Amino acid sequence: MKKTVQIFSMLLIALTVMVSCKKDTDPADKDFFVGTYRGSVSYSKDNNTTTSTDGRVTVTKVNDTYSFFFGNNIPDITGVKFQESGNTYVSVGTGLIGITIDASNLKIGVSNSNGTWTANCTR
């Protein structure tokens, strides 16, 4: 009986050590900002502008690139890469600079040959 208690105690100590050594995970690593944001969005190209104060932007991630789906006849923005800045991500790359996102806010100010997108959304 004494030997059984010792083995059980050793297993309990080993389990406690394994659980307590688990790496803490940064919330940004969990992609908490992937989802749908709501707020004001707009798109313009060739003097045609689409604006919505009740718009939505759905953010998805595949591998290391992100896509922004707007609806309201606004073209999507795809293939965006980000650089981490704390728990906020800032877009990097040619023609897609001007997007910042975190778990509760999305701000877009992108202008390139495909048009100009703006968004100020929360969730």
Q: What is the pLDDT of residues 53-107, one digit of tens each?
A: 999 999 998 888 889 999 878 999 998 888 887 778 888 877 777 899 888 899 9
Please check whether residue 69 is in contact with residue 117, taking contact to mean a CB–CB distance below 8 angstroms. no
Q: How confident is the model at residue 21 (pLDDT cuts 50, 70, 90)?
A: low
114-96-50 Cα angle (round to 5) = 45
Tokens of 94: 């040619």
Give the integer Cα–Cα distance in Å for 40 and 120: 5
Read off the pTM: 0.71
93-121 pLDDT tens trace: 777 778 998 888 999 999 888 899 999 99
Largest CA distance in the chain: 85
Please check whether residue 24 is in contact with residue 93, taking contact to mean a CB–CB distance below 8 angstroms. no
